[in-house]
Structure 1
Amino acid sequence: MSDHVRLDLPVVLPEVPDADDACVGRLTESLQEQAGVTEAHVATAPNGAPARLCVHYDPDTISLPRIRQRAQGLGTELTDQYGHLSWTVEGVSRPRRARTIARRLRRIDGVVEAEASAAGQIRVEYDRAKADEDKIRDGLRSMNVQVQGDVLHARGPAGGTGGKAAGHDHEHGGLFGAQTELVFAILAGVCVAAGVGASFMGAVPDGVSWGLYVAGYVFGGTYTVREAIDTLRAGEFEVDFLMLVAAGGAAVLGKWLEGAFLLFLFSLGHALEHYAMGRARRAIESLADLAPDTALVRRNGTEREMSVEELRVGDTVVVKPSERIPADGVVTKGESAVDQAPVTGESVPVDKAPVEDPEAVGEATDVGAAHRVYAGTINGRGALEVRVTKQADETTLSRVVQMITEAEAEKAPTERFTDRFERVFVPAVLGLVGLLLFAWVPLEEPFADSFYRAMAVLVAASPCALAIATPSAVLSGVARAGQGGVLVKGGGPLERLGRLGAVAFDKTGTLTEGKPRVTDVSPYGGTSEAELLRVAASVERRSDHPLAEAVVQHATGRLEGTPLGEARDPESITGRGVRATVDGQPAHVGKAALFDEVDGPSLPGALRDAAEALEAEGRTTMIVRRGDDYLGAIGLADTPRPEAAEVVDRLREIGIRRMVMISGDNQRVVDAVAARLGLDEARGDLLPDDKVETVRRLGAEEDVAMVGDGVNDAPAMANATVGVAMGAAGSDAALETADVALMADDLSRLPFAVGLSRQTRRIITQNLWIALGMVAALVPATIFGLQIGPAVVLHEGSTLLVVANALRLLRYTPS
């Protein structure tokens, strides 16, 4: 007989990045080798908690304490042996260069895995026995890559936080700073144009034109040579190398003009590609610039200006009208409307008011949204005093920027496919060119003609546009989502979100407001509505149940100052209702089933029918009895969000074919809400495990998203194609749990996210067709005689077209 135990993964492997980390795989493999252990795997924990290590074992062979001891021992060994680095760097401006840098990092002795992205993110896993942080820094410096703000994730005793690395960034440095590459490309074009002009002037010696073309080679080839050397060091042949071979071949044939023209257009395309990727990155960096650098802080009765980095939890900051809020916190004084669009994407300013008891405030999540404020949002006309609840590097804004930046490093499935395709395609192109070099043998033509044809094919077949097609679109899509208050964690979720055929919604708090309200008051037996409400509220006022609070709130408003009765000896009857003494008589408030269990007259048929009619309309009912007299029934409902029906319609217009609501509420309530919103299906009476199974069944039929609050729905979200969390700005767990997080508690952001994802997939598809189509057209054309010049124009034109097409995503607006 076997048993199993679950261990907290972060305890076994301190500060592990995520459950997909390679160290987790090593840990489970090592555990499975232990006698008595039958299986070890990672289990997703509910409620947004960290993943857990699940170990199945035979208790007759190995004891539970031994399991715990061995797991912790292995975790310590792995922690001591393997380090992890995550750095933001400069000098990685294009996907091709990112791939080259990752390959060269992997060649460093001791580096187990390395990834780099054109977004300037580098991740490295290394064996501490063979490599260290300094060794990896030196490797990056040798590639002219400069580490900016180190975000070090090095675990164990060898860890630490690095500072800025020294070194010179050649990519962004030079005579003209960050624009040097573009200036060199323009100078190459000027030289080519001047050389052509000089060739038509009889008085100018031929050597002048040749000298200008050589200068064009120098200016156009400087950065191309640098990247070609990088790729050759990594043992790869990339586009830069192919272009240099073609330009060199043109020079050998005396075609200096065509060679210089090739390098001019290629370097110009690279420079503009660099600009485009930088523009997408700057759209994300602009989020980080939203928070002010200083804050007006009140300490010990005095106010002074200080850096936001110096703010401490518990400080009080004074925010003047129209200023940006410097930190996450809770309003303790003043009222104002705050523009939260920079963080949550909400189009309308949100009213803020002080909490009732500032001294009792703990975390910002302990209070309602009307009292919480976020760093980077803009105060309205009223002055506010805010108690800081998070330090500068832990604010919602800083975490969003960090997650978006990390998301840029995650490759989309299409990008991984194109990478694999290129690894096969480039050697195939070189093989074809090698064959064409010998075409003079069967064709009986001069070798120079075959050589020229081979160089033209080399230009035509270079997959420049293919390399940039997907990453440029993904980067732009992630940046645009961030601007719209949607956090998308990488290219994978972005693509998967666009493939959805079905969406499963949690009901409470997602499609509905999560706050029950009294919708119906039905007196019985001559009782007045006021008397029914007075007795019900008197009994319920001592309860903190949401339904009870709704009854008390409604009664207080309707009775207009009439005092409620004093309820003595209140007693909760679990799952049924409440009992108390009101006006000297026993009073009961609860479900119809309650009155089948307590002493006294049975529930009248007419009142039971009235309650069942309310339940058929989706109401939760309360029956009220005082003494032996039944006073009536009260109907409550968790009302749908105002925008929910419109969101369902918009999703259907976008192309979502199936929308399902899943809930733990009773089936009649769920059916009523689903019918009101126009959903396709409604499944009620579900336990958390039932929700998981429902999502799995939907996912087996088509790609499905699970939309919830990111905490209670974490298991179901983990089993969906894409997990979407709402209201993530107020929930750390929601930020960590979901693939896609809607920062505002606003369901209307969902169609924007799905629409943006679908547009991103369309643009990726268009880019791939443009890139592959141009190669497919140019290769046979050059084989049959198309000159290098026209081939270069068309080839580089397709690259620029792909980049321009991707940048359209930065201006995406829902139709």
Structure 2
Amino acid sequence: MHGPLSNLLSYRALLVGVAVAGLAAGAIASVLGLTWTGWAWTAGTLPILAALVLEIATSLRRGEVGLDLIAALSMSAALAFGVPLAGNVVALMYAGGQFLESYAEGRARQEMTALLGRVAHTAMRYLDGLLEETPIETLMPGDRILVRHGEVVPVDGSLASATALLDQSALTGESMPAEKHSGDEILSGSTNVGDAFQLRTARAAAESTYANIVRLVQQAQESKAPSERLADRYAIWFLLATLLIAGAAWWLSGDRIRALAVLVVATPCPLILALPVAIISGMSRAAKAGVLIKSGGALEALAKIQTAILDKTGTLTFGQAKVGDVRTVEGWTGEEVLRLAASLDQASGHVIADALVVDARQRGLALSSPSGISEVAGTGLSGMVDGHHVVVGGSRFVHDRARRGDPYALRTGIPEGNVVVAVAVDEALAGIITLIDEVRPDASAMLEALRGAGIHRVVIASGDRQDVVDSVAGSLGLSDAFGELDPAKKVEIVVRERERAPTMMVGDGVNDAPALASADVGVAMGARGSAASSESADVVLLVDRLDNLTVAVNIAHRTRRIALQSVLAGLGLSVVAMVAAAFGFLPPVAGALVQEAIDIAVILNALRALR
């Protein structure tokens, strides 16, 4: 443990030491028959009481009334009623409970903290045929680096060696190593568990997957304490019940020590111990599974979700157009049509053009340099390739420029929603290329798992064409699908769904950021995606995998269930002990020991959320 949490742990350990020293000094004085026994116990109580009063004053200035007030009342009453031993025991139990909470919270945060500890700072870069160690900040896209056995991959890139064996558990939660082959994408944050391999960097270190993960983890660790959202909801009622029972015990029996015993038994309370431990444990467990939940409030809200709104592109589909089929007229081969089209499309910045170029290169086709380019933005372009006049674009665009052949005649049987690119060479149709944005293979299983987790309504909201969205919805058995949406319309759909039930929005692009922020829970797909969506989201799937979404929902359900079990059981036992103290069956010192046993039990139960 490092940083603020480590400092807090040390501070609370010091308070425990003060209480123990006072208790021990008073015990020794009592055995020796010395007269300053009470002063020793008072000295062991006052520093803890003073620190507690400062914390309470700070909370009151923020308009918050917490359960720490009970601990302050019990210590003050013990000193005022001439029972300093009880005050010292309460001080020790309270300080010990706070220390135990900090220690358990640190244990629960280990998985999140481990993510921060895996950051690579240097890399072995090839320069003029030689290897040099360089800070990762100096790496640029296109650099070639060597990743040695046991090292963490510092930046995103593609494998330049034949094979590599990677431990991706920090990103995906999977324990089994993944084998990669030449050209495969390698994400930063993975650990090389095989032989050394070469990596061709794809982006700067600050823009890589793991850098974004680290930034998001730090943001999550700096968020508001997770106990406040749920604990403070019930704090005032428990405080009133405690004061009522203590007052009734004093009034009915005439014995103020019974009132003191009731206050002692109520200190510290399971609400302020079990809740933060359970929620931080759940957040840590999710981080181990590849899901970053930014706050305890987000985890609690995730457990209540009944409606999921999913963006299509990059969420239900891969978000990358791929060549699905090439149909040609007589005299042409599919590879030659694709080669000419991709050669021309090197001059275009359109996403469809990029897809054709990438696919052609993956097939090993030798692309030529185009010339005489004329482009109609978003529609098509023409130019010279290897001495031929080539036209590439939509069916209408090519049809109007080709004297022979009709692109529409080749489209028979192509499903709705597929993008079709037509290609003409020397004013004659050569063929058409079909591009598809494939539905993720795990999408159907993910939707079924979400329904099993209590999410009964699933809606698609996309900026893509309505016919494309309907095609994806039909393949997944979804009836509610909205297409051609701008960011404002996505927000409208989120707001409308929230009026019916708690709603989760899942997306990955800049245009999804407003909708993510408007939902009860916003979920961003992949830490490498849009920075705007990751910042707006409450939950970030660290890698681009849909099955982690159901993992997050299930962890949220289990964590909330364990938290409530811990609180209800702890409060129930505390109330029973308070009643026993009110009737005189539990004196103050014994009551403090009983309550400490209850607190330890609920904290241990809360730690089950780590499993």
Instruction: Classify the TM-score, shorter chain.
Output: 0.7 to 0.9
Q: Is 1:273 paired with 2:273?
A: no
Match of 2:489 among 690, 696, 699: 690
What one-letter code is carried by the residue in structure 2 that aligns with 1:497? L
Equivalent position to 2:597, from 797, 801, 806? 797
- Equivalent of residue 480 in structure 1, options 278, 285, 301: 285
Pair 1:313 & 2:138 matched: yes
Secondary structure in 2 matching 1:492: helix
Q: Equivalents in 2 of 1:216, 1:437: separation in Å?
A: 28
In structure 1, the partner of 2:453 is 654
Match of 1:676 among 475, 478, 481: 475
Matched, 1:382 2:382: no
Match of 1:531 among 327, 333, 346: 333
User: Structure 1 residues 471 and 294 mapped into 2: Cα distance closer, same or farther (>3 Å)?
Assistant: same
Cα distance change on mapping 1:542 and 1:305 into 2, 3 Å: closer
Q: Which residue of 1 aligns with 2:16?
A: 181
Q: Contact 1:396–1:729 (CA<8 Å) still a contact in 2?
A: yes
SS in 2 for 1:659: strand
CA–CA distance in 1 between the matches of 2:149 and 2:26?
52
Matched, 1:746 2:545: yes
Q: Deviations over 1:18-47 (max 9, x none)?
A: xxxxxxxxxxxxxxxxxxxxxxxxxxxxxx
Aligned to 2:195, the other structure's residue is in SS state coil
* Contact map agreement 1:331 1:385 (CA 8 A) in 2: yes
Cα distance in 2 for residues equivalent to 1:738 and 1:379: 33
2:305 paired residue among 496, 500, 506: 500
The alpha carbon displacement at 1:458 in A equals 1.8
Q: C-alpha separation between the residues in 1 aligned to 2:357 and 2:52?
A: 74
How far 1:406 sits from its partner (Å)? 0.8
State how far apart, in whole Å, the 2-side matches of 1:720 and 1:661 are.
14
What is the CA distance between 1:428 and its match in structure 2? 6.5
Counterpart of 1:382, as a letter, is: A
Mapped partners of 1:744, 1:282: distance in 2: 20
| Equivalent position SS for 1:541 | helix
Report if aligned partners of 1:185, 1:220 keep a CA contact under 8 Å in 2: yes
**Aligned equivalent of 2:116:** 288
Superposed CA offset, 1:248-274 (max 9, x none): 58864x9x6x77776665555444333
What displacement does 1:796 show? Answer: 2.8
CA, structure 1 residues 502+233, in 2 after alignment: closer, same or farther (shift >3 Å)? closer
Q: Secondary structure at the match of 1:640?
A: coil
- What displacement does 1:465 show? 1.0
The yes-or-no answer on 1:787 pairing with 2:589 is no
Shift in Å at residue 537 of structure 1? 4.0
Aligned to 2:275: 470
Q: 1:724 to 1:350 in 2, by over 3 A?
A: farther
Partner of 2:215: 399
After superposition, the C-alpha distances for 1:426-458 in whole angstroms (9 at most, x for unaligned) are: 467446534543334xxxxxx4xx223222322
**Distance between the aligned counterparts of 1:508 and 1:417, measured in 2?**
36
Judging changes above 3 Å, is the alpha-carbon distance between structure 1 residues 247 and 511 closer, same or farther for their aligned structure 2 residues? same
Deviation for aligned residue 1:734: 4.5
Structure 1 residue 639 displacement after superposition: 1.0
Instruction: Quote how far apart the aligned CAs of 1:504 are.
Output: 1.9
- The amino acid that maps onto 1:399 is R
Letter of the aligned partner of 2:465 in structure 1? N
What is the CA-CA distance between 1:772 and the residue it aligns to? 3.6
Aligned residues with identical type, % of pairs: 31
State yes or no: 1:373 paired with 2:188.
yes
SS at match of 2:438: strand
Alpha-carbon distance change, 552 to 319 in structure 1, aligned in 2, over 3 angstroms: closer
How many Å apart are 1:638 and its aligned residue? Answer: 0.9
RCO higher in 1 or 2 (8 Å CA, sep ≥ 6)? 2
Q: Secondary structure at the match of 1:437?
A: helix
1:437 aligned to 2:250? yes
Q: Give 1:622's aligned residue.
A: 421
Partner SS for 1:639: coil
1:642 aligned onto 2:412:
no
Shift of 1:467: 1.7
CA distance in 2, matches of 1:400, 1:582: 47
Q: Deviations over 1:309-355 (max 9, x none)?
A: xx75349997562233485476897674443433564654474879x
The residue number in structure 1 matching 2:319 is: 514
1:724 is displaced (CA, Å) by 1.6
Provide closer, same or farther for how the CA distance between residues 615 and 295 of structure 1 changes in structure 2, counting only shifts above 3 A: closer
Residue range with higher mean Cα deviation, 507-516 or 321-330: 321-330
TM-score by length of 2: 0.78
Question: Is the 8 Å Cα contact of residues 516 and 533 (structure 2) preserved in structure 1?
Answer: no
User: Which residue identity is paired with 1:535?
Assistant: V
**Mapping for residues 242-281 of structure 1, pairs under 5 Å:** 242-245=73-76, 247-248=78-79, 252=83, 268-281=96-109
Structure 1 counterpart of 2:167:
339
Structure 2 residue corresponding to 1:324, chosen from 151, 162, 165: 151
Change (3 A) 1:223 1:752: farther
Does 2:239 align with 1:418?
no
Query: CA contact under 8 A between 2:343 and 2:369: conserved in structure 1?
Result: no
Equivalent in the alignment of 1:810: 610
Shift of residue 183 of structure 1? 11
1:593 aligns with 2:409: no
Structure 1: distance between partners of 2:213 and 2:305 = 28
Report the secondary structure of 2:484's partner residue: coil
1:733–1:319 distance in 2 versus 1, CA, 3 Å: farther
Aligned to 1:542: 344
Residues 352 and 489 from structure 1, CA distance in 2 versus in 1: closer, same or farther, beyond 3 angstroms? farther
Q: How far apart, CA to CA, are the structure 2 residues paired with 1:278 and 1:565?
A: 59
Structure 1 residues 597 and 664, CA gap change in structure 2 (3 angstroms) = farther
Q: Deviations over 1:474-497 (max 9, x none)?
A: 322333333333222222222222
Change (3 A) 1:209 1:287: farther
Contact 1:488 1:739 in 2 (8 A): yes
Q: Does the 8 Å contact 2:291/2:539 carry over to 1?
A: yes
Partner SS state of residue 685, structure 1: coil
Gap change, CA 1:378 and 1:342, over 3 Å in 2: farther
The separation in 1 between residues aligned to 2:601 and 2:230, in whole angstroms, is 21
SS in 2 for 1:615: coil
> What secondary structure does 2:459 align onto?
strand
Structure 1 or 2: larger helix share? 2
Q: Deviations over 1:516-561 (max 9, x none)?
A: 223334456xx26x53553354244211444345556667888x97
Take 1:238 and 1:726, find their aligned partners in 2: how far apart are those partners?
A: 43
What is the identity, as a one-letter code, of the residue corresponding to 1:477?
A: G
